[in-house]
Structures are given as C-alpha cells and as structure tokens.
Structure 1
C-alpha cells in the first residue's frame, strides 16, 4: 500500500493492520471498524475525518485500550514502536496509557477532577508514570508543562481548580496532562470542537509546536476539514468503519479520489468561493446493523455502478494517495464533479434569489433594538452576603445594543463564547427580560419597564431554532405532536384536520416523509432532528426566525443540508433570520450583514462583504485571521491573543484593549462610541441597513 511503503517517510511509530472492532448489543453483533489499515511516522500528525459514526473515535479508543462496554477487537494487529500491543494483558496496556500513548479528549471538564487543584492532578499523573521522581521534582515538572502549554503565571495557576479556568485554558491543562510522561503517540479526539475559532487557533498552533519540539506523533480526530488542512501532514477519510481514502493532505484536498471525500469538501462553506448553494451528500451514514453490501457509500453515490453494489473495493494506490473506489483514477486525477449530487431543488430558485437582492435594497425594518441591555444578579445568597460582607455582583450580559433588521434579510451575530449572542437571542424570544432599552417588532414595542401584551401581539410571528436538536425536542412525544403543539397553543379554534394538514405541510417543507410523523425523536439522526426543529418552528408560518447555532452540533455534510434548506425556505417564504454562529465560514455563506459582539456590546456592524474584505475593528480582524485556510495546506492561522475577560470584572475603557495591538491610553480609559464609519452625517440611522458602524478609537 502506498501509505505504508513510501520511502520518504520516517519509521512508523504506530502501525495498525487490518483492525476490526465488533460490538455485541441486544443479541446482535455490529461491526464498528472493518479492516482499518494505516501507520503514523515519528513526529507526524495524521488527521482522521468523517461523519459521526464513521469510526474515528472508535479507532482512537482501540489504540488506547479503552473500548466501550461490549466492544472488542476481533481481528487485526496494533504495533507501537515495533511492539505488538493489542494482545497484551490489561495490566501492561494500562502502563502504556499515559507513558507511551497520551490522550486529549473533546471536553476538558470531563477530563479533569473538579475537586483537585490543577497542579496536584499533574503531579499525580507524572509520579504515576515516573515513580522515581520526588513530589518536589514532579511539581517543578508540572509548572514547566503549564508554562510550555501557554498557561500564564503557572506557579499561581497550579494552585487553582479547573472551574477557575476558561475553556481554552482547561484544554491547555489537558494537553499538559497528555504530555506529562513524554508519550511517543498522542490521540487527540476532537480537541478543538468545543472551542471558539479564536481559541481553536491557539490550541492548533500549540499542538503543532509541541509535536515538533517533543518529537511526538499525533492522531488528530476531527470533523473539521479546515483544522486538518492547516494541521495534519496526512489525512485518512473514514466512512462506515472503513478508510475510504488516505494520503498527503495537499493531495487529498486538491485531487480527492473518492466521491465521499469530494462531497465532504464541497459541503464546507468557503469564504473565497461564495455561492447560493452548498454541495451536499444526500442521505446519511448507514446503520451498523444494516450495512450495505459492496461499497458502503454506494447508496449515497450518484455514480454507483452494479459492481459498487456487489463488491467491496480495496484500498489501493490511486496516484499520490490510496482510495477504496471502483471509480477512482489510477493516474491520480481528481474525481469528477458530476459524482457529487448537488442541492436537489424542487424548482430553480435563481429568479427568486435575484428578486430578493433587489427587494432588500428597499426593504423596511421588521425588528429594531434600541439601547437594549440585560443584567443578571450573580450575587451570593442574601444571608451569605450579610454574614461574609460580600458585595452585590452583577453581570452585564448585553449592554446598550442597537441595530435594525430588514424584512427578508439574514443578519448574523458573531463573537467568542460569553460575548452575549445567545443572551440577545433569548431577549428577542421573550425568554429573558431586558433591564434597559426596547425591542420594536413592526410597531409592537417591548420595554424594560414592562410590556405585558408584547409576546401575545407577536405570537407566531417570531420563533426560535435552538442549537441542540437532541435537547430541544420532547423525547416522549411523537413528531406529529411536536410539530402540532405550537399550532394548538396559537390556534385553539383550529379543527384537528386543519392542524394535521399544517403538520404534514411543515414536514414536507423540510423533506421529512409522512411516515416520520409517527416516530419519536430518538429514531432520527442529528440532522433529521434539526429538520424536525425547523418544521416545528415553521408550523405557525413565522416571519422572523432566531437561529442560535443551528448547525454547530451537526456534521459538515448534514450542516450543508440544513443550510441549503434554510436558504430555500427564505427564498420561498421571505423569512427573516437572526443567525448566530461562531463559524465565520458559515456566517459568510448565510448572511447579508454581520454584527460583531464583544463582552456584551456590539463593536462592529457592516455588510457581509465589507466586514470580510475590510474589517474596521481590530477584534473583527483578529476573528477573521483565525479562520482556517481550507485551500492553503500548512498555512497557519493567526491566533487571537489572550481570552475574553470575565464579565464580572470587565476592563475599563474599551473592553478589548487588553488584547488589542493598537491600544493607546484613551482605549484604556474611555469607552468608544458605536458610530458610523465613512458615512455622510444624517444619511442613515444608527444600526440601519445602509450604515456601517464601529466602536473603536483607532479603526483600521
């Protein structure tokens, strides 16, 4: 096989040969991994990508020796530094964990003991693998590791608990734990998925540096192709428990040999190549209990032949990479575009898209916010404050935000976690009450002083799609009842037949078959559940939809399906979207205008093209610099310096000044006004659709 025989690569640290893992459950045997072959050389970073259920994490768990209950290796071999490890007794496998194989998991909170100081956790891990070290030596090593991983003031931070660290800092601590015994191989399972794009860039830069300095090899598991492009040396694409393509990152990205790889790349929004629709792979990953015969991808492949349905293709050399596809070219030419199914529109919506662009130029605002603020009391209980003489504490989650949204447009809000995006969404949805300012929805006004009829007046006209399709649906209700519930509340006079008709229409809009209406949420994939959430939100035919991270919990292929659906519905019904996301590539694909929030305030508001081409606020520039470079392999992002300050103790002056390279004395003392940039006075109201606004003393 090409990937093992290449003479240009160093001696493999890890070799995986024909690995097969089966899971016994409810009297059935499911094959989670089927004949997986790959190797990782010294100091190499191998990326593993694929949809949920492809087998990425199962591969990592097999290497670490921590397979879930009921799972076992049924065939194949695992070799680490020339030693076979899959047949070792559990006691020896346990000694390998940490010492020879380190692990970095997705959620740092579950990887750290909340009751132990960070320094003590590091010391405990170091001494477990190096018992010859004294506690003082282990503590010195722990502080050195914290410093290496970018933790400021490591001597002080070592005495703190995990809850006193931000998400990015906790992940740095987990990386320090993984490095504590100087392992030769690190399994990094979605190490950046739960992090903002800015912190993600810092962690990726850190992983690359540590792999180089420590000589460690890394298996990087992720669903984010952008992370792979800028981090990994090679990439393995998994599908239904098999590697369908493997090779150098540049070759796989520029000349994919497998239709699935091609489809994954086309599903990713690209800010350098905007378009109305994303390519999307129809269908979903096959159930392990019902794997198709032949090529596992053939039910979703537009160009599948009879041979694909009958015979499983081997992983074979195809030019500069290996691919398991009967259609791949032995000369290494890229798989033709025609092999990827494009967005299956019910009709051509090009004319509707052109009309929408014209209509937006004269569209009236449907929503207006004026000096909107929301403050939360986070003080200790009254008696505790009284006895301990603690001051009252408040957090300004949203502070003086003003903007307007035109009918039919998509306004996106971006910013790091804790900037106030979701709080603002919940204010608009009526889940929180404003402490100052007002919300105007086409003449219906909600003020902080109280507007008891506001929710009643706009009922059904404004709705919300939540981030997690698993948590936002009642698991005990059938899909038909979930979609019907808001209709029965808003229209108690409707007949049963009228409600059922609207339910069927809503399901059809999001392409749910009628048979799905009798099922329960647990019987659907994540993407299908989000479609159900959208169908429920659309049932009352709202004019305005608040979309709070609607695709962040979805695979990139499923994300493309949902984004295409949202665009199609907007063109058909003229829906207005407030679109909240931390994924700037998705924002670029979906939005007309973009608002950038930082520590509860709006710091920039501009058209999509203006913001992405020429941002005016340094924070906007730093966020854009942190976007992965999909087409430029090996090119590093520019990490955002520092982290968002605590809203309990915000900086004086401009809140961004501690992280801003352009900060001067006025930035440290005087809050900047949110004002127009290059706008003729009087030509536009603050936050209007024609204005560009920025809150900065020294705009770019």
Structure 2
C-alpha cells in the first residue's frame, strides 16, 4: 500500500435516529483499490455517501471519523468541506443520465466543475483542460464533443463523462457507486479498464461499490463485505473470493451466476414444438430517409410455449427497441409479429404479450398503491369488475411471493427485489402467454437476483409462459435460457442452444461479448 490517504474509523450513520451503518473501519493507500459489496440495504452506498458528507435528508454521521490525509471530513464545517469535496475526494454516481444536467452541454458541465475549485483560471485554459479530460477517459473527437448534450452520448460514454468530471482536479480518492450496473459486457470492461488505469498510473485511491463480485474481482485489490450496516470481513480480493471465512460471504459467492455453468432451463420447462410467437423481417427506422437511423434490421425470431429465449447484445444493438415493438409501444417500420399465426395488435389491443421493466424503482408509480399498480392492466383491458380485480390482485401478489395485504401499501415501502416482484405481478395480471423481460435483474444484488430468477422459472413451469429474457449479463442469460440470440447493430448475428452459443460461439461478435464478461479470481486474475 502506498502512503495512506484515507482512514475511516468507527463510522456510524443514522436516519431519523435509526442506525443504518455501524462502526465501519478501513484504510486506503495511494494507488490502492477497495471494493465494498453486500446486498441492498447493507449500508454500502450509505457508507460511500458518508465519506463525502453527501447523505440525503434525514441522514447524519453519528460517530467515527473520515480522515483524508489526516483531515477529518466528518468534523469539517460545511464551507471547508466544499473546498475539499470534488477537488481531493470525488464521486462517480451510478446513473449518469440522472446525474448529468440534460439541458447543459458536456463542455459547460466540465467548465462548471473546473471553475468550482479552479480559482480564476482563464476560459481558454479551462476549455483545454476539458478536452484533456475527455481525451483521458476515451471520448473520441473530444474537442468537437464539448458542445454536445448528454443525450447525444451512449450509456458508456456518459459514464466516462462522469469519470472525467470526478477527475477534473486530480482527486486523491475516487468513490465509484455501482459504476457499471446498466452497461453491457464490452462497455463495462472498457470502464473497468479505465478505472484500473487511473488507479495504477495516476496513483488515485479507488473505492468501488458494487453488487457484482466479478466487477470487484477485476477492479479491486482489497474487498470489504457488509451486511446490515456492519463490516463482516475484509482482506485481499483473491483471498476473500477463493477462501471466504464468513457464511454470508460464502452465500454471496454461491449466488453468483457462473458463465461456465450449464443452462438450467431444461429442468424448468419443456418448450412446445409449434412456435407461439413468430417475428419475420422486423425493422424499425427513426428519422427522415436521408438521415435515417436503423434500430432493427430484418429481425427473425421464433419463441415456443414454455421456452425462454435469451437476447443479448451491446447498448444500441436494438434489444429494448425489439421488446417495445413486441408489446406494441413502437410500431415497426417493416415486417410482422405473429402470435399463434395471427398478426399481433397494437398497444392496448391484446393482453397476450406483457413487459417486465428493468428498473423496479422508476417503473412503479409512487402515487399509486401496489394494488392499483397491479390492477392497471386489468382496467386497461376491461377484465373483471371491481371485486374480481381485487381478488385477482390478491392472487397475483401471493403468486409472486408477497402477502395479499401488500396491495394497500406504497411501492416505497418495499425493497428492490420486492418491487420487481410487484412488476412481475402487474405483467401477469391479464394472463399473458408471452412475457418480455427487459433487463429484469440488472439492478438487483446477486442474492435477490437469484430469487427473482427462480420466481420466473417457477411461474414458467406453472403457467407455461414463453419468455423473452433480455439482459447484458451472459452468465444469467445462459442460466435461464433454452436458446440464445445475439443482436448486433439491429441484426441477429447468431442464435442457437444456450450452451452451444456460450461454449462454441460461431460469430466473432459473440466471442467478443463472452471475452468481456468479468469473472471471479478462480478463473482469471485482476486487471490490476
């Protein structure tokens, strides 16, 4: 370990008098990287926010210290803290689209960060530094992109911009909270390599918060495991991930989907012989003909009753566009979708194909009760009277592993995994024959992810559902799928049995996706 730059002693945090973090201790040296893992509610993100005194309303540090090169940030007056935060210790947030200002250009946002701690540095010097930062994080044509807005960048590029903002003043410590959660394998690997390079070449101390143990294994040299606000064990990554001592760490590792593990789909259900859903020549274009963007290009797919078809590909490959075309949100530009041999109607016309959304937090209306949310499709499709809908909602909640009394409560009263169960119940309400799952577990930690995957498998066995499972995690996709289709630039470039596609890919693009999957130290070493 290099010279110590961060020392956390007995850090405790409470919200409204309720302790959520208790007695956290760790030290971090220059050029060192520490991963913090744990389930939702373990206190890992609260710990990260407490390091910079950025706790949301009602949160307060109730004990301990956060010493940056000997200076206790927990005890600093707010004006003094503002001089340190962003300059010497900086944060990379999980969702760049909600963290970046959508109405300001990237150049303007970088300029604001530089002016915050840059004194009276001339504008030309700040502009040159902004270009330098975008170059550093790998944004092509950096000088030309300063005038672009966040929505004009891809998901991976927006995350790189977040990193550039954090690096504006060569911070001694970077805190990255779930920096790659929603990114596909190749973009995820690029971000991890970037963080590793900054950590190694610039000597920046790095704290990475993640529920993905593969990400931690490939990014960090040390690991800290949290549960219920407390540290259960910490030590070298290689040691803790190959020989964990605490039963909770062992359980986390056991829940991690392994790319080398064969598909379990055949044990869950046996697909029917005749296809239920057929997609022929499906295309989707945006914009006028001269400047047309093609999201889908002559896509052909078949989905059988009781079958799970995994769909993988990079951001921008067309996965979510295909999902929305199947449920009628987007009208295709060409081609057709047939259900039981008949053309599938537009949105609202048929309840046979339903969608489970990626984010269980933003996909549930916070102003409605859970019962009202689950009943929405029943009302939209005019299914049953009020009493019948109430009974159906109770049945659905119990079917997905919740109590019927949950119908009277608000979504905010539930965990991420429970909210995703509510989303699944809503999708099942009109008794669909096809369930389209668009990244249904990417925002969940590994143990909750395993519970939701098992729930989907049970529902498929019981109801004979056909499932299109869209995800960027190839280990999860192999685990749940009978077949896998690979989408690249709007085209299906490969499809076949799940185990064959993963173990013997035929297309170079599939091979590149597989090569980018983060793995645990039993199969590969750290990027560091």
Mapped partners of 1:146, 1:212: distance in 2? 19
Equivalent residue in structure 2 for 1:444, among 325, 342, 361: 342
Deviation at 1:518, TM superposition (A): 3.2
Alignment partner of 2:359: what SS? coil
Could you tell me which residue of structure 1 aligns to residue 276 of structure 2? 366
Q: Is the 8 A contact 1:414 1:594 kept in 2?
A: yes
Contact 1:127 1:135 in 2 (8 A): no
Per-residue deviation, 1:555: 2.5
Q: Against the structure 1 CA distance between its residues 53 and 582, is the aligned structure 2 distance closer, same or farther, given a 3 Å change threshold? A: same
Q: Does 1:625 align with 2:523?
A: no
Q: Is the 8 A contact 1:544 1:576 kept in 2?
A: yes
Cα separation, 2, equivalents of 1:532 and 1:628: 30
Counterpart in 2 of 1:505? 395
Q: Which has the larger radius of gyration?
A: 1
Q: Work out the number of aligned pairs and report it.
A: 527
Contact 2:268 2:458 in 1 (8 A): no
C-alpha deviation, 1:616, in angstroms: 1.8
Q: Quick check: 106-115 or 532-541, which moved more? A: 106-115
| Map of 2:405 onto structure 1 | 515
Distance in 2 of aligned mates of 1:490 and 1:110: 33
Once the two structures are superposed, residues 238-288 of structure 1 have per-residue CA deviations (whole angstroms, 9 ceiling, x without a partner) of 2222112211111111122222222222222111134649xxxxxxxxxxx
Identify which range, 512-521 or 119-128, moves more after superposition.
Answer: 119-128
Compared CA separation, residues 455 and 368, structure 1 to 2 (3 A): farther
Aligned with residue 612 of structure 1, among 486, 489, 502: 502
Deviations 1:383-406 (A, max 9, x none): xxxxxxxx8644332221112122
Matches within 5 A, 1:42-57: 42-57=30-45
TM superposition shift of 1:220: 0.9
2:312 aligned with 1:414: yes
How far the C-alpha of 1:515 sits from its partner, in A, is: 2.4
* Two-structure CA RMSD over aligned residues (Å): 2.8
TM-score normalized by the length of structure 1: 0.70
TM-score (norm 2): 0.91
For residue 197 of structure 2, what is the aligned residue in structure 1?
209
1:15 is aligned to 7
Pick one of 421, 433, 444 that aligns with 1:531.
Answer: 421
CA separation of 1:180/1:409 partners in 2, compared to 1, >3 Å: closer, same or farther? same
**Counterparts of residues 430-579 of structure 1 (less than 5 Å):** 430-446=328-344, 459-487=350-378, 492=383, 499-579=389-469
1:13 and 1:184 in contact (8 A); partners too: yes
Q: Secondary structure of the residue that 1:365 maps to in structure 2?
A: coil
- Report what 1:588 is aligned to: 478
| CA–CA distance in structure 2, aligned partners of residues 43 and 576 of structure 1 | 49
Residues 612 and 355 of structure 1: CA distance in aligned 2, closer, same or farther (over 3 Å): closer
TM superposition shift of 1:209? 0.7
Cα pair 1:205 1:636 within 8 Å, conserved: no
Q: Determine the C-alpha separation between the residues in 2 that align with 1:474 and 1:51.
A: 24
Please list every run of 5 or more consecutive structure 2 residues that lacks an aligned counterpart in the other structure.
none
Q: Is the contact made by 1:231 and 1:634 (CA closer than 8 Å) also made in structure 2? A: no
State how 1:343-362 maps to structure 2 within 5 Å: 356=269, 359-360=270-271
Task: Give the match's secondary structure for 1:76.
Answer: strand
| Range with greater deviation from structure 2 (63-72 or 111-120) | 111-120
* Pick aligned residue for 2:219 from 205, 214, 231: 231
Alignment partners' CA distance in 1, 2:5 and 2:45: 19
Structure 1: gaps (5+ residues): 1-8, 278-352, 380-390, 638-700
Alpha-carbon distance, 1:138 to partner: 4.1
Contact 1:250–1:633 under 8 Å retained in 2: no
Distance 2:141 2:367 in 1: 50
Superposition pairs of residues 39-118 of structure 1, within 5 angstroms: 39-114=27-102, 116-118=104-106
Ranked by relative contact order (alpha carbons within 8 Å, sequence separation 6 or more), the top structure is: 2
Task: Give the C-alpha shift of residue 212 in structure 1.
Answer: 0.9
Q: Cα deviations across residues 46-96 of structure 1 (Å, max 9, x unaligned)?
A: 011122332222222222232323322222122222333322222222211
State yes or no: 1:195 paired with 2:183.
yes
Distance 1:165 1:436, change over 3 A: closer
**Is the deviation greater in 127-136 or in 517-526?**
127-136
- 1:497 is displaced (CA, Å) by 6.2
Looking at structure 1, the residues matched to 343 and 523 of structure 2 have their Cα atoms a distance apart, in angstroms, of 50
Q: Is the 8 A contact 2:295 2:321 kept in 1?
A: yes
Q: CA deviation at 1:10?
A: 4.0
Cα pair distance change 1:62/1:522, threshold 3 Å? closer
**C-alpha distance in 1, partners of 2:480/2:373?**
27
- The answer as to 2:385 corresponding to 1:397 is no
Match of 1:260 in 2: 248
618-627 vs 139-148, which deviates more? 139-148
> What is the rounded CA distance, in whole Å, between the counterparts of 1:490 and 1:136 in structure 2?
59
* Maintained 8 Å contact 1:408/1:574: yes
Could you tell me how far 1:587 is from its partner in structure 2? 0.7
